[in-house]
Amino acid sequence: MQEPNQSSVTEFILLGFSFNSRTTPLLFSAFLMTYLLIILGNGLITILICLNSHLHTPMYFFIGILSMLDLGYTTTTVPQMLAHLASQKKTISFASCVAQMYIFLVLGITESWLFAMMSIDRYVAICHPLRYKVIMSPWLCGVMVTFCGLWGVISALIYTVFAMRLPYCGPNKINHFFCEVPAVLKLACADTSVNDWVDFILGFSVILVPLSLILVIYVHIFIAILRICSAQGRLKAFSTCASHITVVTVFCVPAMVMYMKPSSEASPEDDKKLALFYNVISAFLNPIIYSLRNKDVKRAFLKVAGWGRAPE
């Protein structure tokens, strides 16, 4: 009986943020400036890592991949959000909504697992420094990133198929600023309890498992750091770990809350704020926290810009 209704919704309306119309120009300017800074920061990091041979190490290889993921992650959602803020038309076609949902999930899940791979890199660097370059070979780094990408592609496909197989017969107003699974599911003309279980199980595999792996690894890292005799050495090791823990927290914790809670407990306004954290704010902060405060990156920038010579 519901089969014909599946094609009744050909487009969705993205309601975006519930702000006064007077604040829209300010909101547009803030998001535009943030997006431009994301492009500048992450783009600069990627270029520097490619151009400077001193940054051709496993750690910077992963940071470069992270920067490219952040660029793609935000570009999937922010330009459309800006276009909707600047115009009265806030529609997105059904096909475009599915594509946005899938690409967003692929990049997000890949990034979630990439953080786990980066923690492994830090573990080897701190706990096995003499064998670091041997263990973290280019081949192994490539395999780790490929695993993250494949897990992202497969998990995102399952998420998207289970979400879009449901009938959508109206209303067609998504109370979000992009097509995110929890917000879209609220419009389904069918029981979504199976989707809640799928979201929880997949959320366990794409968020909780990487976080648990990171936690276990950092327990071993902190034990190793406490055994370092030099206070300066301990401080340097802690500084590297603190940067990684910060970006993981900003990205993974809001994502875990969003995707692992039952749809009945979801609040549209809270969901939008959570999505801003792992979609926009994390991509904005990552270059600052992880790379732009790093002396190696600063030296590489000065060398590429011709303002100085990186020490050999």
Q: What is the pLDDT of residues 254-283, one digit of tens each?
A: 877 777 666 656 677 777 878 888 888 888
| H or E stretch at 11 | strand 11-14
Residue position matching structure tokens 């000065």? 302
Query: For the chain, what is the mean pLDDT?
Result: 84
User: Do the Cβ atoms of 122 and 169 come closer than 8 Å?
Assistant: no
Q: What is the pTM of this model?
A: 0.87
Tell me which amino acid residue 61 is. Answer: F
Q: What pLDDT does 265 receive?
A: 61
| Residue 306, Ramachandran bin (φ over 0: left; ψ between -120 and 50: alpha; else beta) | left
Q: Mapping DSSP to helix (H, G, I), strand (E, B) and coil, where does residue 175 land?
A: coil
Distance of CA 204 to the CA centre of its chain: 16
Regions of the chain short of the pLDDT cut 50: 1-6, 310-312
Which of 96, 256, 257 minimizes the C-alpha distance to 179? 96
| C-alpha distances out from residue 106 to 72, 137, 230, 256, Å | 10, 26, 42, 16
Q: What pLDDT does 264 receive?
A: 58
Q: Mapping DSSP to helix (H, G, I), strand (E, B) and coil, where does residue 8 land?
A: coil
**Which tokens is 192 given?**
């979504």
Q: Mapping DSSP to helix (H, G, I), strand (E, B) and coil, where does residue 128 land?
A: coil
For domain 11-305, the CATH class is: mainly alpha
